[in-house]
Structure 1
């Protein structure tokens, strides 16, 4: 099979591996979780709404009767919830093999998280930044673990990191705010990979994007965007196809840290997953480092585990 035709059937056996998938109650997250469960991973659905999480787990069990699937309450718009969920996950799973930072919001009206962050930046970037940092010891304890963060073609659209007004308190533009959040996902991935590689960690960081997929993510879009998506819906990626870049980044044995996967078709809108290029801005090392520092300050999560590697054959240093 040609490399650009990678499909779910090529996922290696995930038996014995623990996968945490955020936003796994619907769309691409649910599809990702189902595919991993079908390949024998122990899958945790980390979702905001517990009832919807249980319904998603039942849906997975209906398709995969022997699935090992559980639900963890997680509200990425609340640092308190992230800390509580991370503590529960770390206790239940001393080793985590896959962290799929999938959940997100798009084009929302101006809203604030529980901690006062602009909702898209706070949920899509800061929430996953904090979650990754708090789960890092469990990730470092697993051989060949991966962190896969879902970005978007939106990281190229009116995208910049507005350090002078990260929370859009002066004026708000929902498209620019989404672009900032999705650019931040990539800056975080590349900086995390650099730091992991610098200490010889067994963990790698990768990113993916689904192309233009028919999911609930666009429910907050402007009316004209919804109308256009309705007209062109037959051309959009299905959730099954949209999940493939994430699944390839998470499971392909040939994937390496720092890679970015997306659809291989025209304009990366649809198609089977391949390694794609992100914007030059996303590779700005100074921008990556500055965002990392600001993110640590805003979340209070300092990635102290990067000072040690607790994988097989290694002893963690004391904090």
Structure 2
């Protein structure tokens, strides 16, 4: 009850205090040492912040890790940090822009040509533009990065994931999604005054809606899909994209490692958590805090039809 109350009050639940209070009473213990040994993980947006911390956590559990980045220099720096912390880690850096279908297809082609199995896929890459920006394909940038790119990449890597005995996909959302309803009527944010933070929260709501849809889509392949939010973490992305929020909350922000904890847990705990659910601090959480944000079935259907078509899913 106290845990749920902290979540509803936001600051106690999303801050470092919430994480550290819960840490001593997890409903399940830490993943076993070597839980991911001989496995392969892909983490997008792994050059810094929560993505880098996630990759480090997976490497510590024995997984080989592919860092998916847009900036090779940042990726190589992250790789050096991970290898310094885990000297026997196998870490690769690959370039991919999740907002570009051509880039996603190229990366997926490299992966399928080189590997015969993928155990963990973490969709963490994110953007928060100040002004509405369209990709060359005509899609709003946050929608392309947070929704279309992950949809396409997961589908292209489906054969590798299906070859794993326990494949898991994790969508890294945000607590900000609780403020937004699913905009199936305007997924590309063409209407009204554009606000980057609102676009971010809208697409993070979309990721939460996607988790059960993808869980059903891939259930026959034994692939589980999980949504989560990391709380408020002190990362370069937050400092750069939301400087006012960062300045006001810096004293109680989590570390990137604390934010990444539930991602690593979802990827490695045994048995696998229930597919299609939403998690925070290793507990299943409600997908809605406000009645006004609940989706109607027809909205979910319209959203999926639009997104699947725009992503080029078969």
SS of equivalent to 1:4: coil
Instruction: Give the unaligned 5+ runs of structure 2.
Output: 1-22
CA distance in 1, matches of 2:142, 2:37: 34
Contact 2:184 2:303 in 1 (8 A): no
Does the alignment pair 1:278 with 2:299?
A: no
Shift of 1:237: 1.1
Deviation of 1:12 (Å): 5.1
Moved more, 168-177 or 76-85: 168-177
Could you say what the CA RMSD is over the residues aligned between the two structures, in angstroms? 2.2
**Matching residue within 125, 137, 158 for 1:136:** 158
1:205 to 225, 235, 246: 225
Match of 2:303 in 1: 291
Q: Which moved more, 1:6-15 or 1:290-299?
A: 6-15
Query: Does residue 1:250 correspond to 2:267, yes or no?
Result: yes
C-alpha distance 192-106 of structure 1, shift in aligned 2 (>3 A): same
**Counterparts of 1:105 and 1:257 in 2: how far apart (Å)?**
26
Point out the more displaced range, 135-144 or 107-116: 107-116
> What is the aligned partner in structure 2 of residue 184 from structure 1?
206
Q: For 2:268 and 2:147, how far apart are their aligned partners in 1?
A: 23
Per-residue CA deviations over 1:175-222 (Å, capped at 9, x if unaligned) read 33112200111111110112233xx3211111111101111222454x
TM-score by length of 1: 0.83
Aligned pair count? 287
What is the match of residue 180 of structure 2?
A: 158
SS of the aligned residue for 2:26 comes to helix
Q: Distance in 2 between matches of 1:124 and 1:299?
A: 11
Q: 1:110 aligns with which of 125, 132, 137?
A: 132
1:71 aligns with 2:89: no
1:227 aligns with 2:244: yes
- Are 1:213 and 1:238, in contact at CA under 8 Å, matched by a contact in 2? yes
